[in-house]
Structure 1
Amino acid sequence: MSDHDALARRLALLLMKLNHGERVGPSALAAELGVSAATLRRDLARRLAFLPLERERGGWRLDAAFAGRLGTRDIEQLAALAAVRGALPGDELARELFEARVQRAILAGAAPQERHALARPLEDAIVAHRRIGFELLKDEGLVQAYAGIEPYRLLRHKGAWYLAARDRGQFKTFSLARMRALRVSRESFSPDPGTERQLADEDTLWQARQRVLLRIDAQAAPHFRRRKLIASQKIEQALEDGSLVVSLQAAHAGQVLPIVRYWMPHLRILSPEAWQAELEQGLAQYLGLADATDAEHHGGQAVPGSQQGGGERSE
């Protein structure tokens, strides 16, 4: 293994631990990773300086708001980039990539607490390129054993987790809900470039995407001009009032609504109109519940200035 490959592997393992919410202590990890504590401190201070890290009991932990947001492919790409560019003073490329990956995770709605229990050992195997074996529950109670599987990526589709992998040269996806008796082998494999390209955009594995148009007001527009804050975003039009019309590709509303809520009130969905209606309906229901709760806490009287029944969303 070359020095560069060893560095990228070490950074990937550090990123993986931080992404899992672990506290990383250089002294404790030095023996495990085969380098000095000073080297690990340099990795964290220079090559991984783009991460929002917090000091904790002689170690570092990733800000809880970002933990669990990175997928295995994100970790590998960030580690490879940090290995090459992380020592360059003021380099922002890794930081921009990290922010884009976190935004994508929010857009996809994959909250850390929703991760499957098998996600962590599978991610470990994916990053280390280790073959795995497991049993898969089939219909009618049947069980099929698998061995020598090459794991590539964890995918989330319609609330369920899947493993994208190669089985004897054939690409397959396996449901984590049906998986049991997972075993991680010491045997490694070399990733197949064709499979990597196939996984470049996981949405294409499931369904066709559609074009979404967002209007971003003048106050938030500079942020979207400066860098891509939404995966696949493209500025379609700059309006005279300083606002922007931005397009993106999404498979379903659940990929877009969380990011619009995050940027409220500065974003509005222009197309599909039904998605904006869904957003407003959800907000009206929330406001209605909030008003009802406030009324209960104030002896049945609504709080002055609150809307009864939710009302319409003002522009």
Structure 2
Amino acid sequence: MAYKHDYDKILTRLTIILSKLNDGESLSEKELALEFNVSTKTLQRDFNDRLSSFPIYKENKKWKMQNGFKIEKTKSLEEQLILDIIEKMTESIGGNFATKSHKLLSKIKNEEFNPIYTKLNIEDITDRFDDIKLIEHAIKEKKELECSYENDREGKFQARLKPLKIVNYEGFWYLVAFRDDYLEKYYLKTLSNIKQTDTVFSTDDKIDDLLNNSLSIWFKANIDPFTVRLYADTTATKYFNRRPLPTQSIESVHQNGTMEFTVKITDEMEIIPIIKYWIPHLSVLEPLWIYEMVNEDLQSYLSNQT
């Protein structure tokens, strides 16, 4: 049985060996055995088993790192796991974005195997890379944008925007920006003819708090949040405990495994789609007008089924 300090010694030895190889040194098992006061069999096990996932090879009785391979020395196992998750998330986007991100992450990770799998329906925006870079630059430099936009309410029109953030809600990409001092959200793929101007604008940091507390793209600015109180049965309770909504606060937990909780929102459409998704496992306790809106839509749906 190996004790903790034994594992510490092994980890220290392997880290030093990898650091030497990463610096271009050629290593002899005999010399390393003397340096670390271990047997050559231990060093053989290090190279053949413990370091087998790295691109190292033996030539003229010395171990070397393959040309063109570099290890990020500060990368921990936790960071490796994070990189694996990020890679799988970018795969879900697809297109050139996934291909380019895979190449970039491979340079950091130095390995092909990934034990993580994710299924995220994220919109592919690789065809808008040039526009996104332009918008990103305008956000960083706080420069206004001129562009064309089209929606169902106003049709196609010219807009002058103060861009704040590129955001993703439920897999779709939006630009959050001020237009005539009103905070608006623009579906990214319907923006066109985007040009950066020389006009500089100023903002405060409230946009980050607003986004962090939002439940969906329906959030509103300059509106005091209001509280919605909900009842969750055992099925919904498990989910909302695992993945709490922003601003979620548990009011009471019942012995039968159900609970009552509240969320703060700025627009009813932040919560109504969530309630509908979870029917019959989630119901509205307060306010009454939210309950009536959901009930009216439900009755309309049922009447159309007969």
Q: Give the shorter-chain TM-score range.
A: 0.3 to 0.5
Q: TM-score, normalised by structure 1?
A: 0.47
Q: TM-score, normalised by structure 2?
A: 0.48
Larger RCO (CA within 8 A; separation ≥ 6): 1
